[in-house]
Amino acid sequence: MKQFSLAYSSCPNDTFIFHALAHKLLKADFNFNITIADVETLNKYAEKGRFDITKLSFATFGALRDRYALLRSGAALGRGCGPLVVSLPQKQLNSSIKRPTVAVPGLGTTAFVLFYLFIKESFPEIEPNIIPMPFEKIMLTIKDGTADFGVIIHEGRFIYKNLGLDCLVDLGAWWEKFTGLPIPLGCIAIKRDIYQNDPKVASMIQKMVKESIDYAFDNPKISRDYIKTHAQELDDSVIDQHIELYVNQFSKDIGDEGEAAIKIFLQKAQKAGLIEPNVEPLFVD
């Protein structure tokens, strides 16, 4: 049986999605050697071609489109699920602060690209000092005064109020108003040489990811221990909110609307000079 390396993030949406596949609860055509890491680490590994199949920020996928193709299953897209710009109370994000310090969860993340697009559209006179760091450290960095603002993702959107922070901008809501489309956050991508050598392999893996999602929804409690082993926040209500928000119909199949959102996102990132243009097809099919 063929072996492939598979990497995904430690966030509840990914461990929920891949639990059945990782624990061999499905009829499998392949074996997978699994690695779990935060998404920015996976973004950096992808630059070196470390994994055959990997979770990526859509921003990083755009930069590596010549090496990776998208699977239609396993992605994180949606509405009302975008990154948030947060700060301590009474602080405002406006043109009065010409060079604010902003903590972001990595320069390869969709969150950073969205923040960059928002700033250039809304406050072109601002030149932020960007500090990339692991996503779980951002809110503490704001609390201790190292950063003026932070772009938070994942579980952060459910707990920032508990840390006494205010939301200044919902970048997902801004994107939806700006484009009328769902926000493309993260994807599952496969190396193009695997796809090009045998397109059927990529289609079969795509099908297995969808089956793993279906299994997760049919058996929602069976993956809870696996999720908690890797989650940053262990509260069941936070985990439930996370999965409900980030695992949806787009996760099963990106679909036409999701594809349109991805294309617009990549076009805007290219126009902003954040990624290079590329004519390779997006998907494995």
Round to whole Å and give the CA distance between 189 and 90: 41
Residue with tokens 């450290």: 137
What's residue 90's pLDDT? Answer: 86
The CA distance from 87 to 222, in Å, is 37
What does the CA dihedral 153, 159, 160, 163 come to, rounded to 10 degrees?
-140
pLDDT for res 139: 96
Q: Which of 39, 158, 15 is nearest to 104 (CA)?
A: 39
What tokens does 84 get? 């948030």
Strands (E), the chain: 3-8, 31-36, 53-57, 68-70, 76-78, 84-87, 101-104, 129-132, 149-152, 166-170, 183-191
Let me know if 154 is a catalytic residue: yes
Amino acid at 205: I
- Distance between CA atoms of 82 and 193, rounded to whole angstroms? 32
Among 19, 23, 154, 230, the active-site one is 154
Nearest to 75 by CA among 267, 276, 274, 255: 255
pLDDT of residue 231: 85
Taking every pair of C-alpha atoms in the chain, what is the biggest distance, in angstroms?
A: 61
How confident is the model at residue 235, as a pLDDT? 85
- How buried is 147 (Cβ within 10 angstroms: 0-12 exposed, 13-18 middle, 19+ buried)? buried
Q: Which of 75, 66, 111, 70 is nearest to 269 (CA)?
A: 111
The total number of residues written for the chain in this structure: 285
Please give the chain's pLDDT, 285 residues, in tens: 799 999 999 999 999 999 999 999 999 889 999 999 999 999 999 999 999 999 999 999 999 999 999 999 999 999 999 999 999 998 988 878 889 999 999 999 999 999 999 999 999 999 999 999 999 899 999 999 999 999 999 888 889 999 999 999 999 999 999 899 999 999 999 999 998 889 899 999 999 999 999 999 999 999 999 999 998 777 899 899 999 999 999 999 999 999 999 999 999 999 999 999 999 999 987
Contacts 24+ apart (CB under 8 A), 92-100: 92/168, 93/123, 93/149, 93/168, 93/169, 94/123, 95/123, 95/125, 95/126, 97/126, 97/148, 98/125, 98/126, 98/127, 99/126, 99/127, 99/128, 99/129, 100/126, 100/128, 100/129, 100/148, 100/149
Specify the residue for token string 């901008």: 169
pLDDT value, residue 72 = 97
Which SS3 state, helix, strand or coil, does residue 46 take? helix
